[in-house]
Amino acid sequence: MLLEELKPGLRIDGVVPAEVVTIIAAQQHGANAVELTYKTAGGILDQRVVFRKDEVRLSIARGGSRAFDAKVPDFKLVAEAQRISLAGLFDPMLAVATSDVQPLPHQIRAVYGELMPRTPLRFLLADDPGAGKTIMAGLYIKELLLRDDVKRCLVVAPGGLVDQWQDELYFKFGLRFDLLTNQLADSRLHLNVFESHPLLIARMDQLSRNEDLKAQLKETDWDLIVVDEAHRMGGHYFGGKVEKTKRFQLGETLGGITRHLLLMTATPHSGKEEDFQLFLTLLDSDRFEGRQKSSVDVSGIMRRMIKEDLLTFEGRKLFPERLAETVPYELTALEYDLYEDVTHYVREGMNRADRVGGTRKNTVGFALTVLQRRLASSPEAIHKSLVRRTERLERRKQEILDGTCRETVPAVDLAGLDHGDLDAQEIEEMEEELLDAATAARTVDELDAELIELRALVRTAQRVREAGTDRKWTELAALLRDHALVTDTEGNPRKLIVFTEHRDTLHYLQGKIGSLLGRTDAVKAIHGGVRRAERRQITEEFTKNSDVRILLATDAAGEGLNLQAAHLMINYDLPWNPNRIEQRFGRIHRIGQTEVCRLWNLVASNTREGEVFTRLLEKLDQMRQTYGGKVFDVLGEAFAEVPLRDMLLDAIQYGERPAVRNRMYEVIDSTVGDGLKGLLDERALASEHLSDADLRVLRDTMDDARARRLEPHDIESTFKDALTRLGGRIVKRTQGRYEITHVPQHVRSAGNGPIATRYDHVTFDLGHVRPDDRAHVDLLAPGHPLHDAVMAETIRNFGGSLNRGAVLVSAALDAPHLLVGVVEEVTDGTDESVARRFSYAYVDSRGAVHPAGPAPYLDCAAAPAGAAADAARAWPWLADAEDKATSWIIANRLPAYLAEVQPRRLAELSKTRELVTERLTSERERLILDAAAASEKERRGEKPKESSESLHRKAVELDARLRERLALLDRQQRMSTKPPRILTAALVLSGSEAPRGR
């Protein structure tokens, strides 16, 4: 056609390959060029210049916007590939169907009731330990990837958990995330490592402490960032000043570079309301600005569910009961002499450290408390610790004499130990480093005096070892004989976990228990020095091998382990951080546990710290009888004001004083009595519950999702046909299992993740993925890199069939209809997508639209030859059928869709507006009052803590922030629908009206 014939409204072929476009405007430039503004069939506006030489390939499209001459097998194949690729827009729970998980009611509600509807997301998922937050995050990540809402996702977790995250996302969800190792970072010299890895897992401290990585991170943008154990990114108030740790600053950075931010922690609240609100500023700095001591409204931004309130779909309790028992014992006379001597040494060392002062005071005090805890742990631990300390101080003395001594002992933040700023492995490593090195002695004479005392202690410890009368071991052996050396009701050996704080004790117990059982291979041990691969192997042995009866573990090894194979646990050493008690108990009290979980706490009652623990555990048991196992979940929060560590130190230093002992008992009684009651009442108000009505709704939602779900056989037939057409080879091996012997290079290049050249074991049905398979079986479904690459290549190679359309025949119709695949979308005033959906619909000759089912073309036959050529003449209404369909959808369907989406989003925005306005306004008014007071002091010649000018400036900044946030909320509240996008169309004839072949 001639350039001069290009006019607005025309539908023409030849501008875009294999696609019909509608001209919006045509501007002539000289005699031989026209600038076209056009809209594609997908609704995308674009521009292009066409020249006189292009006339030969331009033509007016036949039959309206489609030629309807595509080969029906090609059309059906690519239509299925497109439907599967867009499955997330019509299956509301596609991630559930394509993942190797069986989600529970609280997980479904979290993902599909709390997370998915919020766009953009800023949320804190704070369910109890063991509730399956990783499963919830995996479902959320995969759902957004399948819906094409997320292309780039970063998971940030503590170092000990990153491998577990990588495994869980791969084996349960088929998601291949790269791990940000030092080697990976270094291999991208002069390149931003984050840009080239769209699905990435990184260690929290690797990002917070490495300045180069932080700089690179700030230059990137992400669709979704998930942070596990997010409480470690908390900041703290000291006096009136905010202490922003490096991790907190990382949290601020992450919030600024992502659209969706999901924080996860089972311990969001340390007990200090101000610090909790400071932590929440990572999600919304306006809503939680400033310092307030009263509790804040966290609705819409946080979800917390308590273990005891979690239910199955049948309404049964998800978690069994938890029982804890104190096992008191008394040290022998010889053990007590050693206890008194070492305690005296520790007390004197602390007193000397107090006189030294400065950071050295904390460091020495920390080292000495470690020594005291090892004294309580085992004769083996205290003996070896005393020997190593003696040897280390002798070396230091020699270095002083040689003039080569260098002070290299780092400072210790004792508060950070209980705030969760350090994980268990970091604490374990720090203890090993400092125990032998930290001393208040500065001179040779002072070291000589300390060494004399240490050598005497070593001799006493040696006598205790040689005596072989370890009372603590005797109690443990009795527990093992009563519980671990007997079988359960089905005759299977019981499994039991023993937690200790120190490796020396762990190795000591490994030998003793092995001898007691008569089999050393029945006892396995994990500590912070065990590598991840070996740790997994040991866990697998303990879980699956009935001959392995006992697992010994330190806290560093316990993080992230799922040990539901056991329901019995012993705290051989009690942790000084009460949070650790729940964290340990949480290793066995997890989803999948069916037995009542029992915990025994060994306590030397005739020691100073043993008295504190005995009193604490007695009160805890009283509260447990009243409130159930919930008391363990808030034990750490109860000691926020007076840390348990401080009480134990007071007991060691001053415990013989009646006044000190009485004061400690009063604190324990009020903390664990009234304090726990208050915390539990608060949690009951703040926590969510699942009612019978909630469960019914969730069951109905699951049933609805199943009704819309892609069937595995649909995915299977489409994939096999597509891969074969693309040059690949797939052969059947066993029932439901296949081998892919060749994946073409162009398919591998189309993938978003790593794709192998061949796959030994694949399946399309979760029922054929067995957990006991030694070889990994890939589930080929949406989300798997190979599956998605094959679908993408199919659309790229055969997509022209969708644009041209085909002529089909259906026995279910009594008149010809136009079949269209339509995407509908709701956006807000910032042009962010709020909701999208995809569906097929029939359009009749009048332009009316009605649903057509998920894949109506599959039940249609190909029309006889020549039907496409006759379409425009036989059915002239096709010329504007798509325009009529678009008009009908805009007038009749989009208003209802908008009305469905709007209410919840508007309610959230209204709530946010109210809370942000209240918080920023009150904080601004406080600053104005403080500024006035500061100005008065300045007028009198006094110096205020902060100048009136600085306070005024902050007030003005808050006012500007409020105006900016309200303007954003105004735009977000203005929701509207985009014009529907018709992605494909086919003419579907009734059997009686199909023209005969020529």
Q: Which range is least confidently modeled, 249-263, 310-324, 907-921?
A: 310-324
Tokens of residue 67, six digits: 């030629």
Q: Looking at the structure, tell me whether residues 325 and 349 fall in a common domain.
A: no
pLDDT number for residue 872 = 60
pLDDT in tens, 942-953: 988 889 999 999
pLDDT surpasses 50 at 996: no
Q: Looking at the structure, tell me whether residues 225 and 105 fall in a common domain.
A: yes
298 SS3 class: coil
Q: Looking at the structure, tell me whether residues 326 and 352 fall in a common domain.
A: no
- The set of long-range contacts for 296-302, using a CB threshold of 8 Å and a minimum separation of 24, is 297/915, 298/124, 298/686, 299/911, 300/118, 300/908, 300/911, 300/912, 301/122, 301/123, 301/124, 302/123, 302/124, 302/125, 302/126, 302/268
- The enclosing domain of 497 has a CATH number of 3.40.50.300
The whole-number average pLDDT for the span 143-161 is: 90
Residues 6+ apart with CB under 8 A from 606: 330, 331, 336
pLDDT number for residue 902 = 92
User: Would residue 74 count as lying in a domain?
Assistant: no
Q: What is the mean pLDDT of the chain?
A: 85
pLDDT number for residue 699 = 86
Q: Which range is least confidently modeled, 813-817, 857-861, 882-886?
A: 882-886
pLDDT surpasses 90 at 710: no
User: Would residue 672 count as lying in a domain?
Assistant: no
Nearest Cα to Cα of residue 501 among 374, 632, 648: 374
pLDDT in tens, 568-625: 999 999 888 777 887 888 888 888 888 888 989 999 988 888 888 888 887 777 777 7
Nearest Cα to Cα of residue 877 among 841, 840, 844: 844
**Domain finish residue from 587, 606, 625:** 606
User: Would residue 856 count as lying in a domain?
Assistant: no
| CA 910 – CA 432 distance, rounded (Å) | 53
Q: Looking at the structure, tell me whether residues 13 and 124 fall in a common domain.
A: no
pLDDT number for residue 998 = 31
pLDDT number for residue 997 = 39
pLDDT number for residue 895 = 94
pLDDT surpasses 80 at 959: yes
- The enclosing domain of 113 has a CATH number of 3.40.50.10810
**Domain finish residue from 552, 576, 606:** 606
Q: Looking at the structure, tell me whether residues 207 and 255 fall in a common domain.
A: yes
Backbone angles phi and psi of 228, in degrees to 5: -95, 150
Q: Looking at the structure, tell me whether residues 109 and 175 fall in a common domain.
A: yes
821 SS3 class: strand
pLDDT surpasses 60 at 7: yes
- Report which listed range, 157-161, 291-295, 720-724, is most confident: 720-724
pLDDT number for residue 62 = 56
Residues 6+ apart with CB under 8 A from 711: none
Q: Looking at the structure, tell me whether residues 534 and 422 fall in a common domain.
A: no
Q: How many CB atoms lie within 10 A of CB 525?
A: 20
pTM of the entire structure? 0.81
User: Would residue 796 count as lying in a domain?
Assistant: no
| CA 543 – CA 531 distance, rounded (Å) | 18
The whole-number average pLDDT for the span 442-469 is: 89
Write out the residue range of the structural domain in which residue 966 sits.
Answer: 896-977
Per residue, the 3-state secondary structure of 518-531, as one string, reads: CCHHHEEEECCCCC
| CA 508 – CA 519 distance, rounded (Å) | 15
pLDDT in tens, 765-818: 887 876 555 567 888 988 888 999 999 999 999 988 888 889 999 988 988 999
Q: Which amino acid is at 126?
A: A
| CA 832 – CA 534 distance, rounded (Å) | 46
- The enclosing domain of 31 has a CATH number of 2.30.30
pLDDT surpasses 60 at 64: no
pLDDT surpasses 70 at 414: no
**Domain finish residue from 401, 426, 441:** 441
Q: Which range is least confidently modeled, 39-53, 414-428, 645-659, 856-870?
A: 414-428
Nearest Cα to Cα of residue 18 among 806, 801, 987: 801
pLDDT surpasses 60 at 61: yes
Q: Looking at the structure, tell me whether residues 118 and 267 fall in a common domain.
A: yes
> How many domains are there within the chain?
5
pLDDT number for residue 41 = 67
User: Would residue 631 count as lying in a domain?
Assistant: no
Q: Looking at the structure, tell me whether residues 42 and 179 fall in a common domain.
A: no
User: Tokens 């819309």 identify what position?
Assistant: 708
| CA 388 – CA 50 distance, rounded (Å) | 84
| CA 609 – CA 603 distance, rounded (Å) | 9
User: Would residue 49 count as lying in a domain?
Assistant: yes
pLDDT number for residue 360 = 64
* Helix/strand/coil percent split, the chain, to 5: 50, 15, 30
| CA 715 – CA 782 distance, rounded (Å) | 9
Q: Looking at the structure, tell me whether residues 601 and 571 fall in a common domain.
A: yes
pLDDT surpasses 80 at 653: no
Taking phi over 0 as left and psi of -120 to 50 as alpha, with beta for the rest, 148 belongs to left
Total residues belonging to the chain: 998
pLDDT surpasses 60 at 63: no
User: Would residue 282 count as lying in a domain?
Assistant: yes
Q: Looking at the structure, tell me whether residues 155 and 264 fall in a common domain.
A: yes
Q: Looking at the structure, tell me whether residues 196 and 326 fall in a common domain.
A: no
User: Would residue 284 count as lying in a domain?
Assistant: yes
